[in-house]
Amino acid sequence: MISLDVVVLLYLIASVCFIQSLKGLSHPTTSILGNTFGMAGMGIAIATTAALIWSQAGETAASGLGWVLLGLLIGGSIGALMAKRVEMTKMPELVAFMHSMIGLAAVAIAIAIVAEPTAFGIVDGQGAIPVGNRVELFLGSAIGAITFSGSVIAFGKLSGRYKFRLFQGAPILFPGQHYLNLLLALVMIGLGAWFAVTQAWAPFALLTALAFILGVLIIIPIGGADMPVVVSMLNSYSGWAAAGIGFSLGNPMLIVAGSLVGSSGAILSYIMCKAMNRSFFNVILGGFGNTASSADSGAGAQQRNVKSGSPDDAAFLLGNAESVIIVPGYGLAVARAQHALKELTEKLAEQGVDVKYAIHPVAGRMPGHMNVLLAEAEVSYEQVFEMDEINGEFSQADVVLVLGANDVVNPAAKNDPASPIAGMPILEAYKARAVIVNKRSMASGYAGLDNELFYMDKTMMVFGDAKKVIEDMLKAA
C-alpha cells in the first residue's frame, strides 16, 4: 500500500522535475539536462500513478494495469522509433503530430468518463457526475478536439506533401469566416452549459463534433509563414486540454503538468507574435497571417535582374573578410548542410575570420528549429546569437551569408508599410557591406513575398543545393 502522503510527495518531486526541465530547455547549453529532468519527472509520475491505482484497487487492477503497461510499451516503442528516424526538416511535423495525439487522448478520456463515471469514481450521492466535473469534461473535450483537428491541419501544411486544399500552405479565406468561428464557439458554450445541467449525451457529443470543426477553421486561414506561431499555440492548447482532464480525474500531477505546458506554450506564442509583429489575441482566435494578395507579390521575381556568382566567388569574399555573419534558414535544413557549414566556418576561423550565426525566432518551421539544427552539427553555442543580440552588428559585418532564409531577412518589413510583413522584426542583413544569398531558385519564401535584398547591388546570389554549394565553397576556401 502506498499512502496518499507519499503520493503527494512523489507528485511534488515530479512537478519540480518538470519545472527544472522547462528551465533547462530555455538554453542550448542546458537542454540535455532539461530533457533528463523531464524524463525523470514523467517516469516518477507514471510509476506513482500506477502504484496508487494498485493500492486503491488491489488485485482487481492487475488486468487493467497490464493493458496500461502494454499501451505504454507499444506507444513508447513507436515514439522512440519515430524520434530516431525523423529528419531535422520533419521535426515540426512530428511535434504537430504529438500535439494531435494529446488532444485526441483528452477527448477519449472525457468520453470514457461520461460513459462510465463510476469506473473513475466521479459520481455524487445520486450516481451522477458532479456539475463541476461536467464543466471540466466539457472544457477538456472541447480544447482537446480543437487541438487534435487543428494539429492535423498544421501537420499537413508543414509537410507540404498533400494536394488536398486544406493542407496547402496558402491561407484559406472566405467571407464571414470570423463570424462563423464566433458562432461555433458560442454554440459550443451553450451546449456545454446544457451538458453541465443535464449530463445528457446529445449536447456533449455535439459540442465535441463542433470543436473538431472549429479546430480546422481556426488553422486554415493561417498562412505557412506563420506556422511557427501555430506550433507553439497548439502546444499551449494541448497543455490546457490535459489540465482540464486532470481536474476531472482528480489527478494533481496531470493538472500541474498540463498547466506548465499550457502556460509555457502561451508565453512562447506571445514571444513568437512579438517576433512576427502579430496580435496575440488574433493568434488565439485563428485569424492572422494572410492577405490574399501576398502570394501574388513575388510573381515578378523571375523578370528582375540579380547579380549571381559561383561558390568560388563566394569563397573568395568570405576568405577576404574580417567578420562574417551566417543566417541559416529552412533551405539549410532541407539540404542537411549543417555539418558542411560547420567545416566551412572552422576553416574560415583558422584563416582569422570572425564568424557568428544569427538566429531569427521564427526561422525554420518551429521555434528553435535552427538552434537544434546547429546543435546537431556541434556548432559552438558561443557563436550563436539571437536576433536582438546581433542585429546591431550587421552594419559592421564585412559579409553576411544567407543560407536558405527568405522572409526573416526581407527589408520590406522595415521599408514597405504596405507589405503583409510590415513591422515584423527581421535580421538586418541588408546593412552589411556585402551579402551572399544561397537559394535553389528565385522562388518566394513561405510568406509568398518577393525579397528586395536579392536585388541590391551589394548582394550576390549563389543558386543551388545548400550542401553542394557549401562543399564547393569549402574546396575553394
- Give the closest residue to 132 by CA, choosing from 209, 236, 244: 244
Using DSSP's 3-state secondary structure scheme, residue 399 falls into strand
Q: Tell me how long the chain is.
A: 477
Residue 384, strand partner residues: 357
CA distance linking residue 321 with residue 305, whole number of Å: 26
CA distance linking residue 212 with residue 148, whole number of Å: 7
- Give the closest residue to 153 by CA, choosing from 215, 70, 98: 215
Alpha-helical regions (H) of 303-386 = 311-319, 330-335, 338-350, 369-376
Max CA pair span of the chain = 83
CA distance linking residue 336 with residue 467, whole number of Å: 7
CA distance linking residue 30 with residue 455, whole number of Å: 41
Sheet holding 384-386, edge to edge: 384-386, 354-359, 323-328, 399-403, 434-439, 459-463
Residue 400, strand partner residues: 325, 435
- The answer to whether residues 269 and 362 touch, using CB atoms and an 8 Å cutoff, is no
- The answer to whether residues 349 and 423 touch, using CB atoms and an 8 Å cutoff, is no
Angle between helices 91-115 and 131-159 (to 10 degrees): 150
- The answer to whether residues 385 and 286 touch, using CB atoms and an 8 Å cutoff, is no
Ramachandran assignment for 127, one of left (phi > 0), alpha (psi -120 to 50 degrees), beta (any other): left
Q: How far is CA 325 from CA 189, 337, 469, in A?
A: 51, 17, 17
Catalytic residue among 5, 124, 407, 465: 407
- The answer to whether residues 212 and 188 touch, using CB atoms and an 8 Å cutoff, is no
CA distance linking residue 404 with residue 335, whole number of Å: 9
**Beta-carbon count within 10 A of 441 CB:** 10
- Cell triple for residue 328? 541559416
Active-site annotation holds for 296: no
- Cell triple for residue 47? 510509476
Angle, vertex CA 296, rays to CA 159 and CA 309, nearest 5: 80
Residue 328, strand partner residues: 403
Catalytic residues: 407
